[in-house]
Structure 1
Amino acid sequence: MSKKIIMTGGGSAGHVTPNLALIPRLKEEGYEVQYIGTKDGIERKIIEDAKIPYHAIESGKLRRYFDIKNFSDPFKVIKGVFQAKKIIKNEKPDVVFSKGGFVAVPVVIGAYLNKIPVLTHESDMTPGLANKLATPYCTKVCVTFPESVEKVKNNKGVLTGTPIRSELFKGSKEKGKSFCGFKNNKPVIMLMGGSLGSKVLNDSLRGVLDKLLKSYNVIHICGKGHIDESLNNKEGYRQFEYISKELPDLMALADMFISRSGANSIFEFLALKKPNILVPLSINASRGDQILNAKSFEKSGYSVVIQEEDLNADILLTKIEALYRDKEKYIESMENSKVKNGVEQIISLIKKYSK
């Protein structure tokens, strides 16, 4: 008899991509997969492109800071709970899996009200506000960092690592090289500034680009609207606003990464054993989770960390040269890591807790 799972998570790509890593394995295990998200969230297009049945509900964004919408959004969340409860009652899933983000709160509560087991996954070291609110209604909370297990109340925490899409391991260095049109065999640095790009990362890299190109080829994912046309003809430099289909090939080609320290990205670097420099989002621009993620990776010997306040072109150049010099040391630490791709562990928990 086939089983059914409803997944949720959204608000940013980071709350959706881990779900995509699980879907092929869930189908192999005989699960019918459906998704609940918001009407116009980023998750809708990603999930519909993956041909997964999609249910849209209302949800408000829950903020830790003052905003006039703080008065109306709680009502949207309450409306979303009733919508999710009704969808779940009609669809009768065996289990609900949540990746967090504000859309998840009504879905998790809706599942709880229907007595459906709920598993949630937290990528960052400390739970986001949505996962904090959802935890009391969850059966188990899957976490990514060893340090996080004891932070989850009532013994609900399970260390699983983060689920990583199998395509990522199938990238071809040769395809990546021909896609970029690189003519030599210099080592490749790849900068990824997140889906929106990062001005401070882009500027620091471009500030030392000519020096870097003497020794390296550079792939620069600079974010929407951040292409610098004047650099298009530089030998050994390729810039893209965003990359999707070719990403596994480019990641296979890269010898080193410069990146923010969102959990999905850094666990991909760890899984691929790629030395990296992390520049976490500053505490002014976030709740500080990226700073904690980076600190954990630095402590484990996987990453070099530069705080955003300290970042400039010269420091970046110095750190790149030091990282390349010591790359074997970082690769060895990553090879000895206990944290593995989370797909199989999460699938076994989903099977265990399905009604």
Structure 2
Amino acid sequence: MKRPNIILTGGGTAGHVSLNQAIIPSLSEQGYDVHYIGSRDGIEKNLITGSFPSVPYHEISSGKLRRYFSMKNFSDPFKVGAGVLQAYRIIRKLKPALIFSKGGFVSVPVILAGRMAGVPVVIHESDVTPGLANKLAMPFADHVFTVFPETVPYVKKAEATCTGPVIRQELFEGSKDEGLSIAGFSGRKPVLLVMGGSQGSAVLNEAVRSGLPELLKTTDIIHLCGKGHLDTALEQMEGYAQFEYVTDELSHLLKAADYVVSRAGSNSIFEFLALRIPMLLIPLSAEKSRGDQILNARLFDKSGFAIVLQEEEVGRQSFLDSVRSLQTNSQDIILRMEQAEPPKTPGEMAELILSNSKKRTESG
């Protein structure tokens, strides 16, 4: 008997792909053939084809939807239109039982095409308030899963369920010794991990590098600085290991970390919470974003899971003071983290997603 197909989509940043990466094995184990629709040159193509070479990757045209003026705002709608037609042809050919979207601009034409083809569409939203792509797509979805309960009231026209976070199983399988070996550390000092997201963060990079003389007195530092942001002058500095970006090594580096400094993307902060790593969050400012990271950080601060430093307040001394506060309060933070509700497993999330396909079949 032929296995049913299921289509996943999402891209633009690693955060819009990581959940899809987590559930692909579970969907396959449930008897589905997984296909992925993404853009031609987005980060999702490398992440999916690199991790799952057996999953067919279908490229479509994708335009960015901007909240600000740009000449590309006049041309990108045509790209989105082309993407809808391309996605529609793929969907009609594959006849999937379900389309699951993690968000990002490439997902919009896929969801529109899915609705046109009469295929059940399920969306996942990680942040407190929906991103622009998901906000546009939600009216065409059958169901929306959210991480935060505060997100549910934003969902219109579709059913919504708060599931909490989903954490990739491989993140729990890291080795501290392997992480220390990758970084070249002895393990005699606690380790501070600095992560600026898949594209890096100039603000975090400058803050940590300006404070290195002080920070290295008490900690070793693993710095994920983003592509093109390595500082060759610091290559041989003892106790400081910098990487542009890591994939398979991440679970080991997280296991080696005693503290983490990060932006406040939802996927990352829930991973730190699940791994019980005290965190200093520096969310993207409202000037550079729609404010979603500020809301994420505020909720984690209120729950006692994180120390928060606003981007506008970042300077050498304020950064050092915040890191010291993180170190001082780390045990209290870990105690509060241990009381948090455990995250969903990828298998549990896959079951919830597939239940929507079964529900449509039973009602039809």
Instruction: For structure 1, list consecutive stretches of 5 or more residues without a partner in the other structure.
Output: none
SS for the counterpart of 1:150 is: helix
What is the aligned partner in structure 2 of residue 214 from structure 1? 217
SS for the counterpart of 1:153 is: coil
What is the aligned partner in structure 1 of residue 18 from structure 2? 17
- 2:138 matches 1:135: yes
Q: CA-to-partner distance for each residue in 1:88-110, whole Å, 9 max, x for gaps?
A: 11101101000111111111111
What is the aligned partner in structure 1 of residue 150 from structure 2? 147
What CA distance in whole angstroms lies between the structure 2 residues aligned with 1:204 and 1:303?
A: 18
- 2:269 matches 1:269: no
Moved more, 44-53 or 112-121: 44-53
User: How many residues are aligned here?
Assistant: 355
What CA distance in whole angstroms lies between the structure 2 residues aligned with 1:288 and 1:191?
A: 21
What is the aligned partner in structure 2 of residue 243 from structure 1? 246
SS for the counterpart of 2:216 is: helix
Q: CA-to-partner distance for each residue in 1:165-203, whole Å, 9 max, x for gaps?
A: 211110000111122221242111000111222122111
Give the counterpart letter for 2:60 in structure 1: I
What is the aligned partner in structure 1 of residue 125 from structure 2? 122
Residue of structure 2 aligned with 1:256, choices 242, 256, 259: 259
Residue correspondence of structure 1 range 1-355 to structure 2 within 5 A: 2-49=3-50, 50-51=52-53, 52-154=55-157, 156-338=159-341, 340-341=343-344, 343-354=346-357, 355=361
Give the counterpart letter for 2:13 in structure 1: S
What CA distance in whole angstroms lies between the structure 2 residues aligned with 1:21 and 1:54?
A: 16
Report % sequence identity: 52
The TM-score normalised by the length of structure 2 is 0.94
What CA distance in whole angstroms lies between the structure 2 residues aligned with 1:216 and 1:43?
A: 34
Query: Runs of 4+ in structure 1 displaced over 6 angstroms?
Result: none
* Residues 161 and 342, structure 1, Cα contact 8 Å, conserved in 2: no
**CA-based RMSD:** 1.5
Moved more, 23-32 or 159-168: 159-168
* Residues 22 and 163, structure 1, Cα contact 8 Å, conserved in 2: no
* Residues 194 and 261, structure 2, Cα contact 8 Å, conserved in 1: yes
SS for the counterpart of 1:34 is: strand
Give the counterpart letter for 2:281 in structure 1: L
* Residues 263 and 281, structure 2, Cα contact 8 Å, conserved in 1: yes
Give the counterpart letter for 1:20 in structure 2: Q
What CA distance in whole angstroms lies between the structure 2 residues aligned with 1:34 and 1:131?
A: 20
What CA distance in whole angstroms lies between the structure 2 residues aligned with 1:155 and 1:112?
A: 13
SS for the counterpart of 1:277 is: strand
